[in-house]
Homo-oligomer: A and B are copies of this chain.
């Protein structure tokens, strides 16, 4: 029982028809089937509890009904939330989501890319450490990709993201409008996608506030790395009055470092995150941030990948939302 599933052949025999017709019924095509025959097939299938063998289907039809998600770190709540939403939308379309967590390691990322190609996923949602090689390999294998971060000009791929430069500028503006003059900036690694966009937005904002100055530090996107990265600032006589973080994950580490150094947030140092995960509402104190439209991103990413007519690489821009909260001082 359950040991060996019924096959299309069994259903065909019981319905007094052929395996071809069984296939036509279950796929609504490519040939038409009379109402009466269809009924008999569905009845037989129900009686035998027939479920098409996905593996056989994949081998024959060349589609696996699976999507890949490649991310730097599943422990980052932003990516965990993204994965949740993508999984929901993928399931609604009868697809399985494969999650490839690189854990910040390009080698693991590379292994996942190979794995996704090998398993012939129908499409990949990409948040990559090393954007260009990843895109090259998927392109060479004919796997559709949607990237969720900025990608260098000239690289042909669909992207789906907010305007990072504008969001960074708005966020910095918001911080500086409190009158804070000294800014600390925590970004991801120099070469990681998005870092230069954050910088550019921050610099644009700084131009409008000539008395403000900024110092920068780049570190891995982890709360632990960020804590370590800002500790030296907090030991100085004059720590930055406000800290801009390019991810919430890093901001979590900054909040801790401030607490550890005996600095009050926001009275002594203001902090701003980026991503706007719901975890921000229960940090101590609640974290101001820039909300990314995670659910909409997930919905559209799945649509883009599964819409097989859509073969154009396009750059889609979504809206962000500035979320002030206790940590920024308002």
Chain A interface (Cβ < 8 Å from any Cβ of B): 1-3, 51, 53-56, 58-59, 64, 74-75, 77, 80-81, 83-84, 87-88, 91, 96, 98-99, 101, 103, 108, 111, 115, 118-120, 140-142, 223-224, 227, 252-253, 255-256, 259, 278-279, 281-285
Contacts and interface: CB of A to CB of B under 8 A. Distances in A.
B75 A84 contact: yes
Contact of A2 (B120, B142, B259): B142
Copies held by the complex: 2
A253 B282 CA distance: 7
A93 to B, nearest CB: 13
Nearest to A100: B87
A229 B58 CA distance: 47
9 A-B pairs with least C-beta separation: A2-B140, A256-B282, A75-B80, A284-B284, A55-B59, A259-B284, A55-B58, A74-B80, A99-B99
B55 A64 contact: yes
A223 B282 contact: yes
Contacts of A59: 53, 55-56, 59
Given A59-B55, A284-B284, A101 B87 contact: yes
Contacts of A51: 118
A98 to B, nearest CB: 7
Select the residue from A1, A55, A91 with max chain B CB neighbours within 10 A: A55
Given A2-B140, A55-B64, 14 more contacts: A2-B141, A51-B118, A55-B55, A55-B58, A55-B119, A59-B59, A75-B77, A75-B84, A87-B101, A99-B99, A224-B278, A252-B282, A255-B284, A284-B284
| Prevailing SS type, chain A contact patch | helix
Contact of A83 (B101, B142, B255, B284): B101
9 contacts: A55-B55, A59-B59, A75-B81, A83-B101, A88-B103, A96-B115, A224-B278, A259-B284, A284-B284
Contact of A54 (B74, B75, B81, B118): B118
A118 to B, nearest CB: 5
A187 B256 CA distance: 27
